[in-house]
């Protein structure tokens, strides 16, 4: 399913009309194009998505050398295979945006252009080697021949339109682009705004004709010295170590890292607070809780420098942002969390590490590694996790991939699967003890583990890579991971990740990085994690086994978009597959939030997912059968309701909310089945009885739970008594992971409020 938006960069203002692309390929056309490609490359993996104008993934193949230069080879491949990719005139409609060198491979990232502007989320990433052979292509091309009527506003008019919504907003940058939806193309602006301090920095997609916002997202993710070698949770004793690479005799600045102390609320400024002694050393003692702890500044330098050297020595990669190889870390932040974002205005991300209620998060190297993992994600990809839409609604997969990447970087450096043990022991939001924020040793699969929250959706990627690392070792797993990561398209999903891992494995096998048998191990793990063909639909009931499995959905609040958006749909959908002998199906909903009352509506559709479209200036639901408003606790449909249950059918559910802060909902299914009618015992014909709802004995039901009273429906749906409380465990995080897993044995409702308390810290 083609995703429609990922934020890109500015190109010139020329508005020349592009050549028209062909329409969406039919299944028959896709099969013919794939067969033609397979004639040359029999083992190739080819993916077409519904409504795409061409293939969106080609992998698992190798061409003969096409040119002496990898970039030229990439151009020639796109021109040669333009038919299967849906390209009309590659040289006129694409430009090279940037290249990434990784272990002998060149990832060439092309951007689609239209009317002199970048087309959001459209283009290709081509993987080529130094000899000019091509191995993989991922991405998509859009038909932009139809553009919405109206002339774009001037920059001054566009800014004025935004200030009608937030009068005091500060505009940092405004870049033109093209947005594509089902109705064609439209002109938009990508606007970086500040509503207040540095944490209130957002990127807004603004319709360039009307001036109205379409989408918005936060730009924050969320000598010698005494140091903790890893973290106090691993070893509580400090060690005196040599600080490598220092280039300053008066401050913690070096060739890999610079460490600062935050000043002002939420790190509104930075300074050097730690000063060396007469011998040039930084031999401070830990002091926590404290916002003036110089030990923390030395610890920050040590951890960032260690990561920079690890990347060079083990991955052959040097940190690079706008020409600098230095990673900046700011500590002593008055914030019970850690963040990654640009704190000093140089357009490069920085790690900002907070002071918790009792514990300084900078003492935990996992936290610093994780934050710089976000930086690596932005250096290897152009993925943005917000403002991406398809027919299932908003797609937040990219944010989950970013968190999974940051987590994997944090755990692979020291080889410890538990992330942030020391940080997790702080009491902000409720102490979990030193169990770690997340655990790479997990069994999460796609889509069953999706909740729509980035830290927890990222556990799927984290667990996949740790399983591969455990099987093949760190060197092979790390090489595979970054080979896959750098080749992802701007709107990659877990399906593309799975295919990308398999394609990268084939490439690395050919270069000798992987050995015979390694490729099969990787394929087995990717298959077990169900990455390939994964879509954002979570099954709540399996009619083949009679098993009901609860699912969870998390959605950020309106405040998390800076208030630019007034309604937020869920990023995932839930499905109840009913058995052929069902007479009643109930969706049971449990809600928790830090704001009362909740404000959400639940949509249902039979036979197909609830359908979203971007129409006008809003993401609308244009395919559903019923909606229940007013914060419903459940939804029931039966063979005697209006409309009636059709046994054997699939029912899809999703929700839309208007809460200022985050919403967390738990969904579960209850199915009632008709017991088999007893066989006649006297040899005579069976009596014919009136067709009325069957009174079912208790043991005949798969589950006794049924839906509680609902809110205000605009279509008839039967309601039944409140279901009993559901026990279970919910895992939803905040910021960069202050809370992750509730204590063992915590009931679902108690876990909800533990999470809610933690979520309060996002807006402290």
Residue 473 sits in the same domain as residue 419 = yes
Tokens of 388: 């991406």
Q: Are residues 366 and 387 in the same domain?
A: no
The answer to whether the beta carbons of residues 139 and 490 sit under 8 Å apart is: yes
Q: Are residues 82 and 161 in the same domain?
A: no
Mean per-residue pLDDT of the chain? 83
User: Would residue 582 count as lying in a domain?
Assistant: yes
> Same structural domain for residues 403 and 357?
no
pLDDT band at residue 751 using 50, 70 and 90 as cut-offs: very low
Structurally, how many domains does the chain consist of?
Answer: 5
Cα-to-chain-centroid distance, residue 678: 52
DSSP string covering 129-156, please?
A: ETTS-EEEEEEE----SSB-SSPPPPHH
SS3 state of residue 474: helix
Residues for the chain: how many in total?
764
pLDDT digits (tens, 9 = 90+) for 69-116: 999 999 999 999 999 999 988 999 999 999 999 989 999 999 999 999
- pLDDT attached to residue 557: 86
C-alpha closest to that of 413 among 459, 360, 365, 450 = 365
Element (H, E) at 409: helix 397-414
The answer to whether residues 561 and 699 belong to one domain is: yes
pLDDT digits (tens, 9 = 90+) for 390-406: 899 989 999 999 999 99
User: Looking at the domain assignment, is residue 762 inside a domain?
Assistant: no
Residue 328 and residue 207 share a domain: no
How many whole angstroms separate alpha carbon 642 and alpha carbon 544?
27
Q: Give the number of C-alpha atoms closer than 13 A to the C-alpha of residue 200, restricted to the C-beta side.
A: 17
β-pairing, 582-593 with 634-638? antiparallel
Q: What does the buried/exposed string (b/e) look like for 409-436 if buried means 16 or more CB atoms within 10 Å of the residue's CB?
A: bbbbbbebbbbbbbbbbbebbbbbebbb
**CB-CB contact of 282 with 215 (8 Å):** no
How many whole angstroms separate alpha carbon 28 and alpha carbon 6?
A: 29
Q: Identify the domain boundary among 521, 545, 571.
A: 521
The secondary structure of residue 446, as a DSSP letter, is T
Peptide bond preceding 643: is omega within 30 degrees of 0, i.e. cis?
yes
Residue 20 lies in a domain: no
Contact assessment for residue 656 and residue 662, using Cβ atoms and an 8 Å cutoff: no
For the entire predicted model, the pTM comes to: 0.83
Residue 485 lies in a domain: yes
Q: Same domain for 125 and 164?
A: no
Of 368, 456, 447, nearest in space to 741 by CA: 456
Rounded to whole angstroms, what are the CA distances from 411 to 362, 415, 660, 669?
16, 6, 34, 36
**Once rounded to an integer, what is the mean pLDDT over residues 363-381?**
94
Q: Please state, in angstroms and as integers, the Cα–Cα distance from residue 339 to each residue in 26, 170, 247, following that order.
A: 45, 22, 26
Determine, yes or no, domain membership for 239.
Answer: yes
Q: Distance between CA atoms of 46 and 49, rounded to whole angstroms?
A: 10
Q: Are residues 353 and 388 in the same domain?
A: no
Please give the residue that has the higher pLDDT: either 197 or 551: 551
pLDDT in tens, 501-559: 999 999 999 999 999 999 999 999 999 999 999 999 999 999 999 999 999 998 888 88
Averaged pLDDT for residues 139-157 = 90
**Given a cut of 60, is residue 441 above it in pLDDT?**
yes
- What angle separates helix 474-485 from helix 365-380, to the nearest 10 degrees? 40
Same domain for 299 and 170 = no
Q: How open is the CA angle 570-572-575, to the nearest 5 degrees?
A: 120
Domain's final residue, options 373, 392, 414: 373
What is the domain extent for residue 642?
537-677+694-726
Residue 148 inside a domain? The answer is no
pLDDT of 471-481, one tens digit each?
999 999 999 99
Q: Is residue 510 one of the residues assigned to a domain?
A: yes
Q: Residue 639 is encoded by which pair of tokens?
A: 């063979």
**C-beta of residue 86 within 8 angstroms of C-beta of residue 21:** yes
Handedness of CA 634, 640, 641, 647 (dihedral sign): positive
Average the pLDDT over 45-58 and give the result: 93
Half-sphere exposure of 233 (CA within 13 A, CB side): 24
């Amino acid at each position: 399913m083609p995703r429609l938006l990922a934020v890109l960069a500015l190109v010139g203002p020329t508005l020349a009309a592009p050549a028209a692309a062909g329409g969406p390929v039919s299944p028959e056309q896709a099969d013919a194009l794939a067969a033609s490609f397979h004639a040359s490359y029999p083992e190739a993996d080819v993916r077409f998505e519904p409504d795409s104008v061409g293939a969106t993934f080609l992998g698992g193949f190798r061409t003969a050398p096409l040119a002496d230069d990898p970039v030229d080879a990439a151009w020639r491949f796109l021109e040669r295979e333009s038919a299967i990719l849906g390209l009309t005139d590659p040289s006129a409609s694409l430009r090279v945006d940037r290249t990434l060198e990784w272990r002998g491979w060149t990832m060439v990232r092309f951007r689609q252009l239209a009317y002199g502007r970048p087309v959001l989320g459209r283009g290709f990433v081509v993987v080529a080697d130094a000899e000019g052979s091509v191995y993989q292509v991922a991405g998509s091309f859009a038909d932009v021949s139809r553009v919405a009527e109206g002339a774009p506003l001037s920059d001054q008019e566009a800014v004025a339109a935004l200030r009608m919504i937030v009068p005091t907003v500060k505009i940092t940058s405004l870049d033109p682009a093209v947005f594509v939806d089902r109705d064609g193309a439209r002109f938009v602006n990508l606007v970086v705004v500040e509503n207040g301090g540095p944490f209130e920095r957002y990127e807004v997609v603004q319709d360039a004709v009307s001036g109205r916002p379409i989408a918005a997202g936060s730009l924050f993710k969320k000598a010698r010295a005494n140091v903790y070698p890893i973290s106090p949770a691993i070893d509580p004793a400090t060690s005196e170590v040599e600080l490598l690479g220092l280039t300053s005799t008066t401050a913690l600045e070096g060739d890999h890292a610079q460490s600062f102390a935050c000043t002002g609320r939420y790190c509104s400024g930075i300074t050097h607070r730690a000063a060396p002694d007469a011998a040039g050393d930084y031999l401070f003692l830990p002091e926590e809780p404290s916002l003036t702890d110089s030990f923390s500044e030395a610890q920050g330098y040590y951890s960032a420098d260690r990561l920079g050297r690890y990347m060079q020595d083990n991955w052959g990669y040097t940190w690079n942002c706008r020409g600098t190889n230095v990673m900046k870390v700011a500590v002593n932040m008055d914030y019970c969390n850690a963040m990654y974002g640009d704190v000093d205005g140089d357009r490069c991300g920085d790690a900002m590490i907070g002071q918790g209620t009792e514990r300084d998060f900078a003492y935990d190297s996992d936290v610093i590694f994780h934050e710089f993992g976000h930086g690596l994600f932005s250096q290897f990809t152009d993925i943005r996790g917000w403002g991406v839409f398809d027919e299932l609604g908003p797609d937040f997969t990219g944010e989950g991939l970013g968190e999974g990447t940051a987590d994997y970087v944090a755990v692979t450096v020291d080889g410890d699967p538990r992330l942030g043990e020391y940080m997790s022991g702080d009491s902000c939001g409720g102490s979990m003890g030193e169990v770690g924020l997340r655990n790479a040793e997990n069994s999460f699969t796609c889509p069953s583990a999706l909740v729509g929250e980035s830290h927890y959706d990222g556990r799927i990627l984290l667990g996949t890579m740790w399983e591969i690392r455990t099987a093949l070792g760190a060197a092979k797993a790390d090489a595979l991971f970054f080979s896959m990561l750098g080749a992802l398209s701007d709107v990659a999903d877990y399906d593309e990740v799975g295919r990308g891992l398999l394609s990268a494995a084939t490439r690395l096998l050919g270069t000798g990085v992987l050995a015979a048998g390694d490729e099969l191990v990787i394929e087995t793990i990717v298959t077990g994690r169900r990455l390939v063909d994964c879509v954002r639909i979570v099954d709540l009931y399996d009619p083949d086994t009679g098993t009901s499995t609860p699912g969870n959905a998390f959605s950020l609040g309106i405040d998390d978009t800076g208030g630019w958006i007034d309604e937020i749909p869920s990023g995932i959908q839930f499905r109840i597959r009913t058995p052929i002998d069902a007479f009643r199906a109930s969706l049971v909903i449990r809600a928790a939030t830090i704001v009362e009352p909740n404000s959400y509506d639940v949509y249902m559709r039979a036979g197909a997912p609830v359908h979203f479209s971007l129409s006008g200036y809003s993401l609308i639901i244009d395919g559903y059968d019923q909606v229940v408003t007013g914060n419903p606790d459940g939804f029931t449909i039966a063979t005697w309701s209006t409309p009636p249950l059709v046994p054997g059918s699939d029912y899809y559910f999703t929700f839309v909310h208007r809460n200022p802060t985050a919403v967390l909902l738990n969904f579960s299914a209850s199915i009632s089945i008709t017991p088999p009618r007893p066989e006649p015992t006297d040899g005579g014909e069976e009596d014919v009885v009136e067709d009325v709802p069957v009174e079912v004995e208790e043991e005949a039901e798969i589950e006794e739970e049924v839906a509680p009273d609902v809110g205000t429906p605009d279509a008839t749906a039967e309601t039944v008594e409140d279901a009993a409380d559901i026990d279970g465990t919910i895992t939803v995080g905040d910021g960069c992971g202050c809370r992750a897993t509730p204590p063992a044995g915590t009931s679902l409702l108690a876990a909800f409020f533990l999470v809610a308390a933690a979520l309060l810290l996002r807006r402290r």
